[in-house]
Amino acid sequence: MSIRTLDDLLAEGVSGRRVLVRADLNVPLDKQTGAITDDGRIRAVLPTLGALVEAGAKVVVCSHLGRPKGTPDPQFSLRPVAGRLGELLGAPVHFAEDTVGDSARSTVGGLADGQVALLENLRFNAGETSKDEAERGAFADQLAAFGDAYVDDAFGAVHRKHASVFDVPARLPHVAGRLVLREVEVLSKLTGDPGRPYVVVLGGSKVSDKLAVIEALLPTVDRLLIGGGMCFTFLKAQGLEVGTSLLEKDMVETCRNLLERSSGKIMLPVDVVVADAFAPDAAHDTVRVDGIPSHRLGLDVGPETVAGFSAALSQAKTIFWNGPMGVFEMPAFAAGTRGVAEAITKADAFSVVGGGDSAAAVRALGLDESSFGHISTGGGASLEYLEGKTLPGIAALEN
């Protein structure tokens, strides 16, 4: 893979030039106040933006936030992000109230060297996500008009064939930003020759969401630890009662087949925390997996499971973790995720947190981010990379 980098662009000189940066500023917002609840993705792009500002570029940042339906929607505005980005950069960020309209043109046109502008949400324009190449291309033409060069630093979006990710690089000199470069370097270690034992921890809700990565990883990993809501479909495949827990009935036979083919690599929970309802104050207790009552649902893995998973992790030299072990947003059901995360930090291993809910859990539980080898900004992108898929955004950057 041959990709030009931000350092290559800086070496050519960017002072006075407009540099269009595709960032992933898709941060969570409080539904009541609109305040940013986790600015991790904003902080992740600072090394690239800071280097461009210092070099005197006119920096034009674009990003999506949420899933608006191709038209402006105030609840998905990037305005709060512009404020936080300005605080972190230590200088005002000029905000365009549209993406490629009059406000964007005047905002970009008014930039001085070393200043930063943020365009409004890319997905307020139907062309960004369109499957029609002509519509997508027309939007890419408008975006590309704001740059003399393009930097992709949005790893969380590189698995999407969207205008700002796939089509704009074809219209401008293009390079990978520091975040994208780091993500690819880290994940390539996992797909190359990882240190062994190589242990993968998968959680989250659905087996169907992780099936492709399980299929891809089974031949290469030494242990595969499965928790979260998806574990109940595997337990059902073993003939166990799972009560009213999350269950994908159409995946039971698939899970049974995976267990048979895994040569004992797959490790499932031995106990779970069950509750009367999906609620933070629901009555709950811990039971063995062969004793789940028919009227209760599992919301976390239990302490014996955490101990077993921790023992496997303590032997690892390489660890990849994607997906929480339970409903960590509710304190009563956060112990499993916390226990497994802490075990990862204590292991003498190169550890990668695969973005998404796992990264959110690290921050929500107050864990030391520096205790992990790498925390990815792209959950879906990191999984597809490990599956061996071609990522459109990465392919677009290749020479």
Active site residue 43: no
Q: What are phi and psi of 153, to 5 degrees?
A: -125, 30
Q: Which of 147, 302, 356, 378 is catalytic?
A: 356
- Residue 97, annotated as binding a ligand: no
Bridge-based pairing of strands 284-288 and 271-275 is antiparallel
Q: Which of 206, 256, 317, 389 is catalytic?
A: 206
Q: Which of 18, 41, 58, 182 is catalytic?
A: 41
- Residue 378, annotated as binding a ligand: no
- Residue 94, annotated as binding a ligand: no
Total number of residues shown for the chain = 399
- Residue 79, annotated as binding a ligand: no
- Residue 298, annotated as binding a ligand: yes
77: left (phi over 0), alpha (psi -120 to 50) or beta: beta
262 contacts 224 by C-beta, under 8 angstroms: yes
Task: Spell out the residues 6+ positions from residue 46 whose beta carbon is closer than 8 angstroms to its own.
Answer: 88, 89
- Residue 24, annotated as binding a ligand: yes
How far is Cα 376 from Cα 186, in angstroms, rounded to an integer? 9
- Residue 41, annotated as binding a ligand: yes
- Residue 89, annotated as binding a ligand: no
Which run of H or of E encompasses 273? strand 271-275
Bridge-based pairing of strands 297-301 and 271-275 is antiparallel
- Residue 109, annotated as binding a ligand: no
Nearest to 233 by CA among 251, 218, 217: 251
- Residue 386, annotated as binding a ligand: no
Q: Estimate the crossing angle of helix 79-89 against helix 46-54, to 10 degrees.
A: 60
- Residue 210, annotated as binding a ligand: yes
- Residue 356, annotated as binding a ligand: yes
Active site residue 380: yes
Q: Which of 40, 171, 380, 389 is catalytic?
A: 380
Tokens of 29: 């917002």
- Residue 182, annotated as binding a ligand: no
373: left (phi over 0), alpha (psi -120 to 50) or beta: alpha
- Residue 384, annotated as binding a ligand: no
- Residue 65, annotated as binding a ligand: yes
How far is Cα 306 from Cα 290, in angstroms, rounded to an integer? 17
CB-based burial of residue 395 (10 Å sphere; 0-12 exposed, 13-18 middle, 19+ buried)? Answer: middle
326 contacts 209 by C-beta, under 8 angstroms: no
* Maximum alpha-carbon separation in the chain: 68
122 contacts 101 by C-beta, under 8 angstroms: no
Angle, vertex CA 294, rays to CA 293 and CA 295, nearest 5: 95
How far is Cα 355 from Cα 90, in angstroms, rounded to an integer? 27
- Residue 291, annotated as binding a ligand: no
Q: In whole angstroms, what separates CA 191 from the centre of its chain?
A: 18
Other CB atoms within 10 Å distance of the CB of residue 56? 16
Q: Return the active site residues.
A: 41, 206, 356, 380
Residues belonging to the binding site for substrate are 24-26, 41, 64-67, 123, 160
Residues belonging to the binding site for (2R)-3-phosphoglycerate are 41, 123, 160
Residues belonging to the binding site for ATP are 210, 298, 329, 355-358
Residues belonging to the binding site are 24-26, 41, 64-67, 123, 160, 210, 298, 329, 355-358
